[in-house]
Amino acid sequence: MYGSASLCGITAGMTIRISSSVTGAQVYVDNELQGETPYRAPLDPGRHTIRVTADGYDPFVREVQIEPDQSTELVASLSPPSSHGIPTRDR
Protein backbone atom coordinates (compact mmCIF):
# COMPACT_ATOMS: atom_id res chain seq x y z
CA MET A 1 0.00 0.00 0.00
CA TYR A 2 1.28 3.48 -0.83
CA GLY A 3 1.97 6.03 1.89
CA SER A 4 0.39 4.13 4.76
CA ALA A 5 2.67 5.72 7.38
CA SER A 6 1.45 9.24 6.60
CA LEU A 7 -2.19 8.21 6.91
CA CYS A 8 -2.11 6.41 10.28
CA GLY A 9 -4.04 7.58 13.32
CA ILE A 10 -6.58 9.70 11.46
CA THR A 11 -10.25 9.87 12.42
CA ALA A 12 -12.37 7.76 10.05
CA GLY A 13 -14.67 10.70 9.28
CA MET A 14 -11.94 12.54 7.32
CA THR A 15 -11.85 10.63 4.06
CA ILE A 16 -11.04 11.59 0.49
CA ARG A 17 -12.37 9.66 -2.48
CA ILE A 18 -10.84 10.27 -5.90
CA SER A 19 -12.05 8.83 -9.17
CA SER A 20 -10.88 9.69 -12.65
CA SER A 21 -11.81 9.33 -16.29
CA VAL A 22 -8.79 6.98 -16.57
CA THR A 23 -8.91 3.98 -14.24
CA GLY A 24 -5.54 3.28 -12.66
CA ALA A 25 -4.31 6.88 -12.84
CA GLN A 26 -1.69 7.70 -10.21
CA VAL A 27 -2.82 9.77 -7.20
CA TYR A 28 -0.41 12.13 -5.45
CA VAL A 29 -1.28 13.93 -2.21
CA ASP A 30 1.06 16.81 -1.39
CA ASN A 31 3.54 15.53 -4.03
CA GLU A 32 3.71 12.00 -2.55
CA LEU A 33 2.45 9.01 -4.53
CA GLN A 34 -0.42 7.46 -2.57
CA GLY A 35 -2.06 5.00 -4.96
CA GLU A 36 -4.22 4.69 -8.06
CA THR A 37 -7.77 5.58 -9.00
CA PRO A 38 -10.27 4.73 -7.79
CA TYR A 39 -8.67 5.92 -4.56
CA ARG A 40 -10.07 6.19 -1.03
CA ALA A 41 -8.16 6.95 2.14
CA PRO A 42 -8.28 8.95 5.37
CA LEU A 43 -6.54 12.33 5.19
CA ASP A 44 -5.50 14.87 7.82
CA PRO A 45 -7.67 18.00 8.00
CA GLY A 46 -6.28 21.08 6.28
CA ARG A 47 -5.27 22.18 2.80
CA HIS A 48 -3.81 19.58 0.43
CA THR A 49 -2.68 19.48 -3.19
CA ILE A 50 -4.11 16.56 -5.14
CA ARG A 51 -2.51 15.57 -8.45
CA VAL A 52 -3.79 12.77 -10.68
CA THR A 53 -1.66 11.64 -13.63
CA ALA A 54 -1.76 9.05 -16.40
CA ASP A 55 0.49 8.46 -19.40
CA GLY A 56 -0.77 10.34 -22.46
CA TYR A 57 -2.94 12.78 -20.47
CA ASP A 58 -2.50 16.24 -19.00
CA PRO A 59 -2.23 16.09 -15.19
CA PHE A 60 -5.21 17.09 -13.05
CA VAL A 61 -4.22 19.29 -10.08
CA ARG A 62 -6.52 20.71 -7.39
CA GLU A 63 -6.18 22.27 -3.95
CA VAL A 64 -8.66 20.79 -1.49
CA GLN A 65 -9.61 21.77 2.04
CA ILE A 66 -10.28 18.75 4.26
CA GLU A 67 -12.56 19.57 7.19
CA PRO A 68 -12.78 17.52 10.40
CA ASP A 69 -15.49 14.82 10.28
CA GLN A 70 -16.16 15.42 6.59
CA SER A 71 -15.69 13.20 3.54
CA THR A 72 -14.50 14.78 0.30
CA GLU A 73 -15.09 13.43 -3.21
CA LEU A 74 -13.08 14.52 -6.24
CA VAL A 75 -13.54 13.50 -9.88
CA ALA A 76 -10.39 14.01 -11.94
CA SER A 77 -11.24 14.59 -15.60
CA LEU A 78 -8.05 13.74 -17.45
CA SER A 79 -7.78 14.88 -21.05
CA PRO A 80 -5.24 14.27 -23.79
CA PRO A 81 -2.63 17.02 -24.11
CA SER A 82 -3.66 20.03 -26.11
CA SER A 83 -2.14 20.26 -29.59
CA HIS A 84 -2.44 24.06 -29.78
CA GLY A 85 0.58 25.53 -31.49
CA ILE A 86 1.94 22.19 -32.63
CA PRO A 87 2.00 21.88 -36.41
CA THR A 88 0.48 18.77 -37.93
CA ARG A 89 1.97 17.01 -40.89
CA ASP A 90 -0.06 17.01 -44.12
CA ARG A 91 -0.52 13.62 -45.71
Contacts with 70 (C-beta within 8 Å, 6 or more apart), sequence order:
13, 14
Tens place of pLDDT per residue across the chain (91 aa): 333 333 444 444 589 999 999 999 999 999 999 999 999 999 999 999 999 999 999 999 999 999 888 889 999 999 998 765 555 555 4
User: How far apart are alpha carbons 49 and 56 in whole angstroms?
Assistant: 21
pTM of the model: 0.74
Per-residue pLDDT at 89: 55
- Beta-carbon contacts of 76 under 8 Å, excluding residues fewer than 6 positions away, are 18, 19, 20, 21, 25, 37, 50, 52, 60, 62
